Amino acid sequence: MFSQLKSRFGSSLAVGIIGMIAIWLIGLVILPQILMVDYSFRPNLLPADIGGPNDTYSLMNYETLFSNKIHLAIFFKTIWSSVLVTSLTLVVSYPIAFYLAKVATPQKAALCLLLLIIPFWINEILRTFSWYIILAYKGPLNALLLGLGIIDRPIRFLSGDGGVLIGMVYAYILFMIFPIYNAIESLDTNQIKAARNLGAGWIRTHWRVVIPHAKPGIATGCIMTFMLAAGSYAVPALLGSPGSRWFTQIIYNWFFEGGDWNQGAAYAFLLLIICIGFIALVMRVFKVGLGDIAK
Amino acid sequence: MDSSVHLDNTVMQFGDFTAIQQTDLTIKSGEFFSFLGPSGCGKTTILNMISGFIDPTQGDIKIGGKSMRGVPANKRPTSMIFQNLALFPLMTVAENIEFGLEVRGVSKSERKKASDRLLELVALEGSGTKRVSELSGGQKQRIAIARALAVEPQVLLLDEPLSALDLKLRQHMRTELKAIQRKTGITFIYITHDQGEALTMSDRVAVMSAGRIQQVADPITLYRDPHTAFVASFVGENNGVSGKVIEANSDFVVLDCGPLGKLAGRSQGNIAVGADATLFIRPEHFRLQAEEGMHTLRATIDEVNFEGAYLTLNANTPANLPLSIQLGTHQFSDSLKKGAPVSLSYNEQDAIVIAGGGHV
């Protein structure tokens, strides 16, 4: 890599580029992570006691989660809800992705993509707040449903899991649509025609031909959505409080309200480890390799 | 079983563009029928209408006498072999063949029996467990045929399936397709721009141009008696000489071809004296020695090509009209060389005159 850069930019600039990348990687990514790992194994002490006889490495911070039943429940609920968010996002995104890739004319597809992307030019907090307004007890969605006579009294969408699910599906839908869209677009349309021609209905055509082909894209989308959902803070804080708490909120509390960075770091790593483990398991079950995802 | 296909005054429009002009055509049960035409002539549109991927704007498609209007692609008694074959790459060979049966809820053991039988038909016994990617081009071709036959269609639609194969294999597959058609008795509808394929395999051929069927006939009639100038020049090679009609009866027409003199040929349809018309002579109908009753054109040789069994000459006439001539190799002599004058004779029985001038 260095010789390539050198031949293109000259040696001083090449050293500069590599140096900046190294500083960024080491100083901003690797070192802080190591620091947090270090924190997570040490007790939370007064500044005076740091480095003293009580400052020893232990698994104590990690054990806290398993002794605190409420935190443990929220932890598993976060994982479970993230699975739910991921599945719901998949169910919503797959038809859109298929439509964009195989049904829509190029002009319509471009228009749809634009309409999907425009909301994402707005800050996530603002977007979430707009959902807060839409889903409010006396908000427009309830008014619409009441007006259409679908419900007789307003539904309390907020302060529960419903609002969080809706908000997250909306927040992460692009991360699901794009990889699936890319995967389906690369499918030869004749494959779909061939399946139809051999007598397959739409469901079987998707199940046997389109989905197997799009599997790497689906896996990529699910992993991104799952990781984002499990690590989300703004959506549950705004749309879920106080009924639906997310594990990230507990981590936040340890850091900034409890002032216990050591405990917060341990919780954060536990979430990371479980998420990675969970993804590895799902990839195993659906027989998707890392190579497929990188495609 | 009646597996005829009837295009009942079918019209297909895409927006303002008419892909298929009003067409009324019956393809007989058990026939090997080809649509032949240049790309963009609408032949694939016809296939898509028969298979149900698109619905005609007007008219109807009938298969075995039954109207197909509103019948979706997956419920039609047709089966298609795609130009790129469209085998399912993530399935094994056997799974590919059995797919149509799986869809129909046929039991696993029955499916296995069917795929074994079909693999035998296409001479690929024991390849069932292979992946599609492990097969050669010709083998993939046969699997595509087996997959299409597995659903026991009344009509098999073939969309230029041989175009991706090399010459030898293509010729071999022609014979094989014909044999399979005879064995199964299924109606084959074959789409191609390759006249060799259409002429060698088909019982009848429809020549298409710009969304219109120009002529439907058996290959020999098509070659001998083209009805339109398009058919005359698209099917096989032809030399067209345009001129004005100076004499005409029901069988023969004499044209005044300007600097080429008066030339005569069989008349195609009613041609009136004074009209513009084109005389078509096939390259193989020229002779170097004139015989009694023959017509002669004078030309200069541009190029001589030796092709093995025959020679082709490119020659230019005083009217600056290029001609191509095909001669048996035994007629070769040293006098046939670039720049040499040559007199080309033909029998008026072998030339055909079609109304309309300025062609070629």
- Characterize B22-31 residue by residue with b for buried, 16 or more Cβ atoms within 10 angstroms of its Cβ, and e for exposed: ebebebebbb
- Report domain extents, chain A: 68-294
**CA of A211: which chain B residue's CA is closest?**
B90
Which residues form the domain of B40?
A: 5-229
**CA of A197: which chain B residue's CA is closest?**
B74
Query: Do B210 and B142 sit in the same domain of this protein?
Result: yes
Note the pLDDT of residue B127: 86
Q: Do B103 and A199 touch (CB under 8 A)?
A: yes
Contacts of B147 in chain A (CB under 8 A): 198
Residue B80 C-alpha, separation from nearest chain A C-alpha, in angstroms? 7
Note the pLDDT of residue A139: 86
Question: Candidates 1.10.3720.10, 2.130.10.30, 3.40.50.150, 3.30.420.40; correct CATH number of A68-294?
Answer: 1.10.3720.10
Q: Of B301, B307, B299, B286, give the one whose Cα is nearest residue B350.
A: B286
Query: Do B51 and B134 sit in the same domain of this protein?
Result: yes
Note the pLDDT of residue B344: 87
List of residues 6+ apart from B89 with CB closer than 8 A: B131, B132, B133
pLDDT tens digits for B160-208? 888 877 888 888 888 888 988 988 889 999 999 988 889 999 999 999 9
pLDDT by residue for chain A (295 residues), tens digit each?
Answer: 778 888 888 888 889 989 999 999 999 999 999 998 998 898 888 777 777 777 888 888 888 888 888 889 999 999 999 999 999 999 999 999 999 999 999 999 999 999 999 988 888 888 888 888 888 888 888 889 888 888 888 888 776 778 888 888 988 999 999 999 999 999 999 999 999 999 999 999 999 999 999 998 999 899 999 999 999 888 888 887 777 788 999 899 888 888 888 889 999 999 999 899 988 988 888 788 777 766 5
Q: Is B153 on the interface with A (CB under 8 A)?
A: no
Residue A207 C-alpha, separation from nearest chain B C-alpha, in angstroms? 12
Upper half-sphere CA count for residue A40 (Cβ side, 13 Å): 19
Q: Please tell me which of the candidates B84, B86, B100 has its beta carbon nearest to residue A199.
A: B100
Note the pLDDT of residue B360: 45
Interface of A with B in 188-227 (CB under 8 A): 188, 190-191, 193-201, 204, 208-209, 212-213
Q: Is A286 on the interface with B (CB under 8 A)?
A: no
Note the pLDDT of residue A294: 65
pLDDT at B215 over 50: yes
Query: Do B253 and B166 sit in the same domain of this protein?
Result: no
Residue scoring higher pLDDT (B164 or B99): B99
Q: Do B75 and A204 touch (CB under 8 A)?
A: no
**CA of A213: which chain B residue's CA is closest?**
B90
The enclosing domain of B268 has a CATH number of 2.40.50.140
Which stretches of chain B are assigned E, i.e. beta strand? 5-14, 17-27, 32-36, 58-63, 66-67, 78-81, 155-159, 187-192, 204-209, 212-217, 239-248, 252-256, 262-268, 276-281, 295-306, 310-316, 322-328, 341-346, 352-355
Query: Do B121 and B62 sit in the same domain of this protein?
Result: yes
Instruction: Kindly report the length of chain A.
Output: 295
Contacts of B75 in chain A (CB under 8 A): 199
Interface of B with A in 73-102 (CB under 8 A): 73-75, 78-80, 82-84, 86-88, 90-91, 99-100
Query: Do B253 and B128 sit in the same domain of this protein?
Result: no
Classify residue B234: in a domain, yes or no: no
Query: Do B254 and B318 sit in the same domain of this protein?
Result: yes
Query: Do B256 and B222 sit in the same domain of this protein?
Result: no
Single out the residue in B170, B205, B229 at which a domain terminates. B229
Query: Do B60 and B131 sit in the same domain of this protein?
Result: yes
Residue B153 C-alpha, separation from nearest chain A C-alpha, in angstroms? 9
pLDDT tens digits for B9-21? 999 999 889 999 9
Q: Do B151 and A209 touch (CB under 8 A)?
A: no
Single out the residue in B229, B261, B280 at which a domain terminates. B229
Note the pLDDT of residue A100: 94
Query: Do B112 and B176 sit in the same domain of this protein?
Result: yes
Classify residue B360: in a domain, yes or no: no
* Mean pLDDT across chain B: 89
Decide if the complex's ipTM is over 0.90: no
Q: Is B119 on the interface with A (CB under 8 A)?
A: no
- pLDDT band, residue B327 (cuts 50/70/90): confident
**Cα B265 to Cα B333: distance, rounded to the nearest angstrom:** 29
Single out the residue in B161, B195, B229 at which a domain terminates. B229
Residue B216's SS3 state is strand
Query: Do B167 and B270 sit in the same domain of this protein?
Result: no
The enclosing domain of B43 has a CATH number of 3.40.50.300
Contacts of A188 in chain B (CB under 8 A): 84, 86
